[in-house]
């Protein structure tokens, strides 16, 4: 399993005793994997944080103009 897959396979909630952990496992296309790993190397952030930040921005953009992202 690649380092990215290990880091991005679980979203890590706060470590509260008795709290069930929730997560998601994803397989990234090679081009996106390379970009995430490059950002990880240059920023020092975890792959999970990079992916979460990018997804948040994408979702924010989608909420502002859903039609824009769905156009061919």
Tens digit of each residue's pLDDT (9 = 90 or more) over 4-33: 444 444 444 455 666 667 788 889 999 999
Answer yes or no: is 19 within a domain. Answer: no
Closest CA to 58 of 48, 44, 68: 68
User: Is position 47 within any domain?
Assistant: yes
pTM for this model (two decimals): 0.61
Q: How far apart are CA 64 and CA 49, in angstroms?
A: 23
Bigger pLDDT: 3 vs 59: 59
* Residue 49 domain boundaries: 1-6+28-72
Number of domains present in the structure of the chain: 1
Whether residue 15 lies inside any domain: the answer is no
**13 domain residue, yes or no:** no
Are 23 and 9 a contacting pair, CB within 8 Å? yes
């Amino acid at each position: 399993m690649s380092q990215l897959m290990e880091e991005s396979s679980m979203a890590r909630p706060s470590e509260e005793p008795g709290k069930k952990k929730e997560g998601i496992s994803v397989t990234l296309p090679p081009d996106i994997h390379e970009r995430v790993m490059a950002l990880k190397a240059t920023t020092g952030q975890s792959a999970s944080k990079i992916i979460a930040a990018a997804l948040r921005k994408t979702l924010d953009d989608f909420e502002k103009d859903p039609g824009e992202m769905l156009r061919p």
